[in-house]
Each structure stands twice: as C-alpha cells, then as structure tokens.
Chain A
Amino acid sequence: MIKSYKLRRGLANTFIYIILAVLGLIWISPLAYLIIQSFSADPEAIPQSLLPASFGFDNYVKLFTETASLNFPRWYINTFIIACFSCVISTISVLMVAYAFSRLRFKSRKKFINIGMILGMFPGFMTMIAIYYLLKAMQILDLKGIFGIPGFDGPILSLIICYSSGAGLGFQISKGFFDTIPRALDEAATIDGATRNQIFWKIILPMSKPIVVYTVLTSFIGPWTDFILAKIIAGDKVDNYTVAIGLQKMIDVDHKNVWFKRFLAGSVLVAVPVTALFLKMQNYYVEGVTAGGVKG
C-alpha cells in the first residue's frame, strides 16, 4: 500500500516536472530568442532562421555609432535624466506623505487618506491625455533648451513633472512600513524635546532604509518601462524620445528592414538592468500589489 502510494506520488511529481519544464521553455524562449539574435552577425537584417549562423557584437556597436537617423544613445541619456529627476522628487513626496499619514495625527487625516486611495485607484490614462492638452495649450512641449541646457527640452521637463507629480498617491507601502515602527520611539524623543521634524530625519528615516531603497528603485525604473505617457508627450519630437518609444520607432514600417536586430540589441540593453533591479525587490512589489487587499 505504502509502496503504491509512493509510486503514485512519484508519477504525479514527474508529470508536474514535465509540465513545468514545457511551460518554462515556452515562457523563457522568446526572451532567449531576443538575447541570442541580438548577438547575431548574419548579413540579413531580419533573422531567417531561429538560430543565427555567426555571432558578434555588430548590432550593439552600430546602435551606438550609427546615430544619424535614430539616436539611441541620446534616448538612453534622456531616459536616464528623466529617471534621476523623477526618482528624487517622487521619493521625497512619497516619504513625506507616508510619514504624515502614519505618524502625525491631524484634522481630516482620514479624509485625506481616503481621497488619496480613491484617486490612486483611477486609471492614469484619462489624466494623461488631458495633461497633453494642457501642456500643448501652454506651449511647454515646444520649449527648447530650458535653463539654457542643450537637450533639456519641453517634453523632457513635462515627463519629469508627470512621472513625479502623482507619486504622492503611492504612499501605501511606505505608510505600512512606518506603521510598524513602534510609536514609543516617537514618544521618548518628544519627551526629550525633539520636534516632529527632527523625529522624521533622525529616528524614522534611518530606521526605514529598506523602504527608502524600494521607493528610490521603483521611481527610477518607472520611466524606463513606461510607454504610453512618453508616446503621448513626445509625439514626433524624435530627439526627446525615451528608450521605450525609441525602440518602437526602430521596428515601424520605415525602419524595420534595417534596424530590426539593433532593436533586439537595444531591448537587451534596456531590459537587463531593469530586470536585475526588479528581481532584487520582487517581494516588495508583491506587498505593494496586495497592500490594498485582505490579508490572508
């Protein structure tokens, strides 16, 4: 009896191993295709077979040297600048809101939390189009070289503003973290004469390193992965593209026949750092998504 039970379990497990292996193959093979073909040194622009005949770094080199029509390095720098600025602003506003909601007790605090949660649930799509109308009407999108910095054009400034302005609504995770820090610490500090400002800087922030790191990383990754807002704002101003719309441009009807493999190489260059950062903080991500849900 025991023997047959073991056998049955063994069979079931083997079956599951087979399914998992097949599924894993299906899930990972497009990405493997992406990486392998990006190193292809075949003469054809569009791969004619699943595996390239020869390998090399041609696509990567061309991506950074042939920048006359599509300037990938510039898009990379654009995205990097946008990511840095919006990361700083977002982090500051998220931490400020989270601290206020978690530690300070003031009139209509509950109301603010509820309004924040409801606003945060609305899809960002509606506001994006309206923001585009607004920026267009105020002629911010056509600005060139703001503050005299070459390349710091209207769309880039607009994207920085858009990515960081709504950040305050994402206070949930940080607030949850702050809530777990014992209030006795605050009370002790208050008795010793610390102001709330000092408590924030000298007690709460040093204890919240993981959540600060998480906030910094997510707001840094945001601009690298966003497609739609950048598409709306940058429009046809090719110089102000971010990597996302730049890569899409590479495979449109006019460019695909030359740029396809460089698109693959560019995708690898964008995906590798983002993937690495994400895998580092996937647990926080899960917490963030389920934060609104009932705890099991």
Chain B
Amino acid sequence: MRYIDYMQLNPFQRFGYNFTQFFKKLPGNLARFFKFLGRAIVHFFVAIGKGVAGYGKRFVKGDIFVKISYLFFGVSNMVRGQIIKGLIFLLTEAAYICFMIFFAWNYISKINVMGTAVVGGVEQKIPHSLGYVAKTEVFEDGFPVTKFVDDSMLILLYSVLTIVVTIIFFAIYIANTKSAYKVYEAKKNGETIPGFKAEIKAFFDEKFHVTLMSLPCLLIGCFTVLPLIFMILIAFTTYDKSHLPPGNLFQWAGLNNFGELVNFAGGDAKARTFLDLAGWTIIWAIFATFSNYILGMIVALMINKKGIKLKALWRTLFVVVVAVPQFVSLLLMAQILAENGGALNQLIEMITGSHTPIKFLNGTALSARITVIIVNIWVGIPYTILITSGILMNIPADLYESATIDGAGPVKSFTKITLPYMLFVTTPYLITSFIGNINNFNVIYLLTGGGPSNPDYYNAGYTDILVTWLFNLTMGEKQDYKLAAAIGILVFIVCATLSLITFNLTKSAKDEEAFS
C-alpha cells in the first residue's frame, strides 16, 4: 500500500492494516532474528576456534619457558625480567588451586545430590518423606547432639560462585599464555620489555578503561548477574518451607514447579491462582498504562494550551505528587480510602449524610480493582505530564492551525495529530511503563496488600498481581521459594521480550557521536 492510500484510511482501518502487517512481517522478522542469532553463534565459535588456534600456535612457537608457563603461570615473564608480573600470575594460580582444594571442592562435588548426611561416621543419604535429611542425632558424652552436615543452599551458592571464579581464572590463564609469548617475542626481537611501573602506568592511560570498568563490573556481576543465575536455578529445585536448610536438604526437581503452575486441567489451586493472577496482571498493566498515558496527555495539553496563564503553577501542582516519595502517597491514600475513619468516607458522609461507609479497598473484588486503577491514575498522571510536556511543545503549531482552518475541533486534532505524533515518539516509553506496571509492586502492595483475599487462591487475593504473589510466597507464611522462583522466571521472560523490543526500537535512533 502506498503512503497516500494509507493516509486515506480511517483509524480503525489503519489499525487493522497495521495489525495484519505486523503478523505478515512477523515471519520475516523472526527469520531475521534467528539469522542474527545464528550469525552470533557462528561468530562465537569462530572466536573460540581462533582462540584455540592461537593457544596452540603460541605453545608450539614459544621456547621452553613459554611452554613451562602453560603449566606454571608467569615463568616466562619472570625469566625475562618481569618478576612482579610473573609472580602475580603464579600467585593467582596457587590461590585458585588452594580455593578449589580447601573450599570449593567440598561444595561443587555435591551439586548433583545437594548434600549428604553423616551417620555413625559414614557419609550417606538418608531417604526421608520430605527429601533427604541432613541432620542426624549423634551421641557425644552420652547426650544427643544434632549435627548438620550439609547445607543445600550453600552447596548451590558456592557451586555457582566456583563456576564464576573458574571462568575468571580461565581468562587469566589465557592472558598468562599470551603475555608469556609476548615477552618471548619481544626479547627475541631485541625490544625493550616494559617494567612493572610502566605496566601500572598504562592502566591510567591506554588501559584506563580497564581501571574504570572493573569495579562496576564486579559489583554488577556479584549483585545483579549472580542472583539472576541463582534465582533461575532455585526454580528447578524443591526449596521451600519443608526443605529449609540447615536441617533439611533440598533436591533438584526438574520442571516440576513449572508443571504445577501450568497444570490447569488438574484443578490445582496453584495453577488456578496463576492463571487468574496472570490475567489480572495483564488487565491491570493495560489499564494502568493507557489510562495514565491518555489522561495525562490531555491534562498536559490543557496546561500547555496557548492563552492559559500560570502554567508553572498548574505544572507544579501535579509534579509535587511525583516528587513526594511514592510509598508516602500510597500509604496515605490507603488511609484516606479506609472504611473506618477514612477521610474520603468522612467527606461523603458530610456531603450526603449517609452513615454507611463505602468499602473501597476491602469490599468486592471489582470495587477493589477499580479503586486500585483509579488511585494509580492519581499517582501516574503527573509522571505523564512531566514526561510529555516537553514533547508536546515540539509538535509544530502550524499543524494545529491548519487543522483548525480545515474545521477540526479539539477532539479531532487530538486523535488525528497529537495522539499519532506522541505514539510515534514515545512508544519506547510506553513499553517501558507497561513493563513497569507488570512489576508495579508498590501500588498494589501498599494499597490493598493483595486483598480482598480469596480462599480458593493459593496464598493470594483478588488484587494481587504476579509480583506481589511472588513476594507473599517468599516473605509470607507459605515460604514456597521454589514456586516463587518459577513465577519470577516466567515474568522475567515476558519482561525481557518486551525489553528487547524496546531496545531494538531505540537502537536505530541513536547517534551518540552527534555532538562530538
């Protein structure tokens, strides 16, 4: 379809056209994605191949000291005068071996069974209805003493840690062989070999990026990436209240937890809760995102309209709500809407004189859900005003003028000019806020705490979204960690997909060298 034909369609036809186009293009896009993925995988293996080839080449070409360096780190460097650098390499190797022998082996060797217990001095697994028990009664001086042998949690944790450490160690090993060969070549060609001081200096000049990046990378690795891996692994175990270390062991459970969540036909409370909450999460996210977006934009347009005075005052009135910490405004709102002594009910009583307070948050499921969405509008509109004001001002004024001359009213200019323009510019923001609403813990938890509760659900209420359910399963009475982790992964997959779409949308429009 040509552009001119497209322009003649009405909004519904356009939507239908875009909708079908999306699915028409989907196979192509998918194919492109897999092609990209395939190319990335090929690149990866080519890089590995090149690495291995270089590794072998350096070994064959190097002299005896280079060859020794392949087993004992840093020898080549030390022989050729880089004493300190060589020693650092050697010490790293020694430290890694000690770490493996005295610490890590104890844990990583048990990763397949998640721990054993000692009975009478002999290590063995004790089968138990709840899994394997890691504690045992041992008599010392005639008194029974409970001895904890293994802690599945620590086994899992330190095994992941060991794998990460091993990967880092391997990188150091490769760096060592490269360095060993480099000094050998330099010596052979009669070049000067930089001393330790010069190497350190390089870290503040040519290699300054290494100095700058290492600390943040370490922190992000330890507290963002490692927990993610760990969380994913938990979802495949039996870790919950009745398998709580120390004292109990947990086991690998394969896909059981995911099976429980999607076992819709079995009439299981968990599966039912999951299905219902997932549905409500989507409804919530759609309503919360679009109500804020559209209403916020309308208010922003009113504030920015030509001829409206005191713009700064109106803006500030709304922006103050953004500035107040969200937990304060939400806790306050929960109190204002309370059944007993809530300010809104007092106001209604004052106006109408009725003495039966309205149950905004703890009445029926529907009233609670509507209240939550409305309060979210109160919280969210100011954000939209803040974000969109600047962009709205950028829409060329002559567009509106010519529309007015052609006889378009305010509603028509909004749907024909403002909305398409804004949707085009702020799609990434829209997707990001959709993801944000899927994970909008604060609004739900601080307003209703998930209530009104539903006895048919597995530890959840009518307004619970998936993340608040996850939170309740972890921090509440149930302590069903494995199920929480499985839900986490599912939410994570949805959000990750959306994030990647946003990322692709924004990537094309980036021109970072524009100013420099």
A: which residues have CB within 8 A of B?
9, 12-13, 16-17, 19-20, 23-24, 26-28, 30-31, 33-34, 46-50, 92-93, 96-97, 99-100, 104, 106, 109, 112, 114, 117-119, 121-123, 125-127, 129-134, 137-138, 161-162, 164-169, 175, 179-183, 195-197, 200, 224-225, 227-228, 231-232, 235, 244, 247-248, 251, 260, 263-264, 267, 270-271, 274-275, 278-279, 282, 285-286, 289-290, 292-296
Point out the residues of chain A lying under 8 angstroms from B316, CB to CB.
279
Name the CB-closest residue of B to A136.
Answer: B153
Is the pair A292, B153 in contact by a Cβ cutoff of 8 Å? Answer: no
**Which A residues are in CB contact (< 8 Å) with B491?**
123, 126
Any A CB within 8 A of the CB of B213: yes
A137, B329: Cβ atoms under 8 Å?
no
Q: Does B500 contact A (CB under 8 A)?
A: yes
Contact B474 A96 (CB under 8 A): no
A16 proximity list for chain B (CB < 8 A): 302, 305, 308
Closest residue of B by beta carbon distance from A230: B327
Whether the Cβ atoms of A195 and B205 lie closer than 8 Å is yes
- Flag if A279 contacts B319 (CB, 8 Å): yes
25 contacts between A and B (CB under 8 A): A19-B302, A20-B308, A20-B314, A30-B329, A30-B333, A48-B341, A96-B216, A100-B208, A100-B209, A117-B503, A118-B499, A119-B225, A121-B435, A126-B488, A130-B227, A165-B219, A166-B223, A168-B219, A196-B206, A227-B442, A228-B445, A228-B471, A270-B328, A290-B429, A294-B509
B332 contacts A by Cβ under 8 Å: yes
Q: Contact check, A28 vs B429: say whether CB atoms are below 8 A apart.
A: no
Residues of B295-344 at the interface with A, using a CB-CB cut-off of 8 Å, are 299, 302-303, 305, 307-308, 314, 316-329, 331-333, 335-336, 340-341, 343
Q: How far is the CA of A278 from the CA of B382 in the complex (A)?
A: 13
CB A132 to nearest CB in B, in angstroms, measures 7
Chain B residues with CB below 8 A from A121, complex form: 432, 435, 495, 499, 502-503
In whole Å, how far is A24's beta carbon from the nearest beta carbon of chain B? 4
Give chain A nearest CB distance to B250 CB in angstroms.
12
Chain B residues positioned under 8 Å from A227 (CB to CB): 326-327, 442, 446
B227 touches A118 (CB 8 A): no
Given A31-B321, A133-B230, A274-B323, list of 7 further CB < 8 A pairs? A23-B299, A118-B503, A126-B492, A137-B245, A195-B208, A282-B386, A292-B429
Give residues of chain B (335-367) contacting chain A, Cβ–Cβ below 8 Å.
335-336, 340-341, 343, 346-347, 350
Q: Is B372 an interface residue (CB 8 A)?
A: no
A9-B307, A97-B216, A286-B386 in contact; A133/B153 too (CB < 8 A)? yes
Which residue of A127, A286, A290 contacts B227 across the interface (Cβ within 8 Å)? A127
In the assembled complex, how far is the CB of residue B46 from the closest CB belonging to chain A, in whole angstroms? 15
Pair B327/A129 contact, Cβ less than 8 Å: no
**Inter-subunit contact A275/B223 (CB<8 Å):** no
**B201, B325, B481 — which one has the most chain A CB atoms within 10 A of its CB?**
B325
B157 nearest CB neighbor, chain A only: A137
Closest to A26 in B: B378
B212 touches A99 (CB 8 A): yes
**Set A20, A97, A270: member contacting B325, Cβ < 8 A:** A270
A275:B324 contact, CB within 8 angstroms: yes
B109 at the interface (CB under 8 A from A): no
Distance (whole angstroms) from the CB of A160 to the closest CB of chain B: 11
Chain B contacts for A271, CB-based, 8 A: 324-325, 328
> Provided the pairs A169-B220, A228-B441 are in contact, do residues A279 and B327 lie with their beta carbons within 8 angstroms?
no
Contacting residues, chain A, for B328 (C-beta < 8 A): 34, 247, 267, 270-271
Are the CB atoms of A275 and B227 closer together than 8 Å?
no
Interface residues of B in 195-224 (CB under 8 A from A): 201, 204-206, 208-209, 211-213, 215-217, 219-220, 222-224
- Name the A residues within 8 Å of B513 (CB-CB): 179
Q: Is B467 an interface residue when CB atoms closer than 8 A count as contact?
A: yes
- Docked CA distance A16–B304 (Å): 11
Interface residue B271 (Cβ < 8 Å from any Cβ of A): no
Q: Are A275 and B386 in contact (CB under 8 A)?
A: no
* A115→B316 CA distance, assembly (Å): 37
Residue B370 at the chain A interface, CB threshold 8 Å: no
Main secondary structure of the interface of A (DSSP, over half): helix
In the complex the two chains form, what is the Cα distance from A56 to B245 in whole Å?
Answer: 52
Q: Is the CB of A224 within 8 A of B499?
A: no
Judged by a CB distance under 8 angstroms, whether B97 is at the interface is: no
- Of the candidate stretches B55-63, B387-395, B412-420, the one touching chain A is B387-395
Residues in B lying within 8 Å of A, measured CB to CB: 151, 153-154, 157, 201, 204-206, 208-209, 211-213, 215-217, 219-220, 222-228, 230-231, 234, 245, 299, 302-303, 305, 307-308, 314, 316-329, 331-333, 335-336, 340-341, 343, 346-347, 350, 378, 381-382, 386-387, 390-391, 394, 410, 421, 424-429, 432, 435-436, 438-439, 441-442, 445-446, 467, 470-471, 474-475, 481, 484-485, 488, 491-492, 495-496, 499-500, 502-503, 505-506, 509, 512-516
CB nearest neighbor in B for A276: B323
User: Which A residues are in CB contact (< 8 Å) with B223?
Assistant: 127, 131, 161-162, 165-166
Cβ-defined contact, B317 with A28, below 8 A? yes
- The answer to whether B492 and A182 touch across the interface, beta carbons within 8 angstroms, is no
Does B208 contact A248, Cβ atoms closer than 8 Å? no
Interfacial chain A residues near B436, Cβ < 8 Å = 123
Chain B residue with Cβ nearest A16: B302
Give the docked Cα–Cα distance between A137 and B250 (Å): 14
Q: Is the beta-carbon distance between B204 and A127 smaller than 8 angstroms?
A: no
Contacts of A104 in B (CB 8 A): 208-209, 212
Q: Is the CB of B204 within 8 A of A196?
A: yes
Give min CB distance, B347 to chain A, whole Å. 6
The list of the 10 closest CB pairs from A to B, nearest first, reads: A168-B216, A130-B227, A165-B223, A121-B499, A278-B323, A130-B231, A197-B204, A225-B325, A196-B208, A275-B323
Q: How far is the CA of A247 from the CA of B424 in the complex (A)?
A: 41
A274 touches B325 (CB 8 A): yes
Chain A contacts of B321 at CB under 8 A?
Answer: 27-28, 31
- CB–CB A137/B320 < 8 A: no
A76 → B minimal CB distance (Å): 14
Contact among B220, B386, B435, B516 with A123 in the assembled complex (CB-CB below 8 Å): B435
Whether the pair B224, A196 counts as a contact (CB closer than 8 A) is: no
Q: Given the complex, which residues of B lie within 8 Å of A285, measured CB to CB?
A: 386
Contacts of B382 in A (CB 8 A): 27
Whether the pair A125, B439 counts as a contact (CB closer than 8 A) is yes
A-chain residues with CB within 8 Å of residue B439 when the two chains form the complex? 123, 125
In the bound assembly, the distance between CA atoms of A181 and B441 in angstroms comes to 39
Report the minimum CB–CB distance from A250 to chain B (whole Å): 9
